[in-house]
Structure 1
Amino acid sequence: MSTPLLTDAELSDALAGLTGWTRSGDTITRTVQAGSFLDGIELVRQVAEIAETMNHHPDIDIRWRKLTFALSTHDSGGLTGLDISLAREIDRLAAQSDSTG
């Protein structure tokens, strides 16, 4: 069973409460600059643990200390509450690390 898609209004409201996330079509993305390569890998590991418990996995691009997280609920064909929940967790973890962006 797929998760219900967010309306444009719901998505706009949710994005207003998130740090650095932008929408492009059916995906929201955020880029984080880690303090070091190992800090970035540790942040990815922490995000992976949460993603696994949520059974909702982001696309992650790692370029040295620059991490880009992309979220979309593929089986629903767009953005859902799962994406917003995971984005909040990524924001929380990024704030706890030495990351900025």
Structure 2
Amino acid sequence: MTQLSEEEVTQQLTSLPEWKRKDSKWIERRFRFKEYLDGIDFVNKIAAIAEKENHHPFINIQYKMVIVSLTSWSENGLSELDFKLARQMEDLFDSESL
């Protein structure tokens, strides 16, 4: 795993329009839910994905909103693994129509 270049990060973000650059080392997405427990259920599911990938996001729960931030500490920035995990979260969110 290696740190992605600025060009690679920009390219990856084009396929993840809801994810935003937080700064040079982070990407972030806000997931909104109809009910509080829907967000909690989502957090539990993304935690299972993160464990499987051995790549753990920062997760902030604010009532009906879940904020997820990703970076690769070992690379001191963003790597392909951050975008892989982001895509898995998008797929989960889309499949559950939460």
* Higher relative contact order, chain-length normalized (CA < 8 Å, sep 6+): 1
- Other-structure match for 2:31: 32
Percentage of pairs with the same residue: 33
- Other-structure match for 1:80: 79
TM-score, length of structure 2 as denominator length: 0.94
What is the CA-CA distance between 1:31 and the residue it aligns to?
Answer: 0.2
* Aligned 1:17-96 pairs, distance under 5 A: 17-23=15-21, 24-96=23-95
**1:45-64 Cα shifts (integer Å, max 9, x gaps):** 11011100000000000011
2:23 corresponds to 1:8 = no
User: Which SS does the other structure have where 1:79 is aligned?
Assistant: coil
| Equivalent residue letter for 1:17 | S
Number of aligned residues: 97
What is the CA-CA distance between 1:97 and the residue it aligns to?
Answer: 2.5
Unaligned runs of 5+ residues in structure 1 are none
**Is the contact made by 1:35 and 1:98 (CA closer than 8 Å) also made in structure 2?**
no
